[in-house]
Amino acid sequence: MNTAYISGVLRNNAQPDSFPPHRDPTERYDYAVMAFHFRHPTHGDILIDTGFDRTFHERPPNGNLSFTMRVYYTLTKVRCIQSDGDLPLGSHLERHDINPAHVFLTHLHSDHTAGLPSVPSQSRIYYGKRERTLISRLLSSNHFAEKSSIHLLDMSTGKAMAPFFHVVDVFGDATFGAISTPGHTRDHLAHLISTSPTPVLIVGDAELTRWAMKDEILVSTIDGARGKQEVQRSATMIRSFHAMHPHVQIWFSHDEDHL
């Protein structure tokens, strides 16, 4: 489900030293703002990320973003665009009769949490235990108002599933795995869903887009050298997984196309 677009230059979102010669760091791209829905036979409707709610249409361009994010987007000339044709999260939920019991956040950046106000207050919300930092609170805390059911995933308890090191089998039935893919943020998660006949891997922001993954571009991090190392390690795991299991669809948080 695409909820809006974010327009910005490539070097805002990725590491320029990983760009191939044909990619111009100053070129602007319109990135989709995706949320994903799955229906588990017994656990009900599951969302991964929440995109944008309708405030981006009602109060353009920055909708329900925090003051810190508005300043950041103004300084970096990033624009949020939710035009008439783009459905905010709440409209997608109504249209497809989705009542989310579980909401998994790949990470706490506000372009992944800004749809939370459209999610029922009793929905169970999950994210990585180490993800909640002072910065993440400044960026997205207003999106968690009235949300009482927060569940922190301790990725250190995850089991190895090559090429990934830490995978948590969330429902204990091997249908839905949360995968530690840090770097872009401290405790970023990808998710592997054993849908039939085609399983799906949602990589969140561990890879920027389909074309960026094909170009072996690495996403941005605010964690300096350590963050860069982790981004590289997570991308290597995802790219090896894709080589080992080419039939698994790979979806990105900022692309309407899958791999």
Where on the chain is the footprint of Zn ion (CB under 5 A)?
Answer: 109, 205
CB of 209 to Zn ion, least distance (A): 13
Point out the residue whose Cβ comes nearest to Zn ion.
Answer: 109
Kindly tell me which of 109 and 132 has the beta carbon lying closer to Zn ion.
Answer: 109
| Amino acid identity, position 12 | N
Kindly tell me which of 45 and 205 has the beta carbon lying closer to Zn ion.
Answer: 205
Kindly tell me which of 175 and 221 has the beta carbon lying closer to Zn ion.
Answer: 221
CA distance 173 to 200: 16
| Amino acid identity, position 191 | H
Kindly tell me which of 81 and 101 has the beta carbon lying closer to Zn ion.
Answer: 81
CB of 108 to Zn ion, least distance (A): 9
CB of 226 to Zn ion, least distance (A): 17
Tokens of 175: 């249908």
CB of 109 to Zn ion, least distance (A): 3
Residue 78: which of 122, 110, 42 has the closest Cα?
A: 110
Kindly tell me which of 54 and 109 has the beta carbon lying closer to Zn ion.
Answer: 109
Q: Which residues contact 196 (CB under 8 A, 6 or more apart)?
A: none
Helix residue spans in the chain (DSSP H): 10-13, 55-58, 67-75, 89-95, 110-113, 134-140, 210-214, 224-244
CA distance 258 to 205: 14
CB of 173 to Zn ion, least distance (A): 29
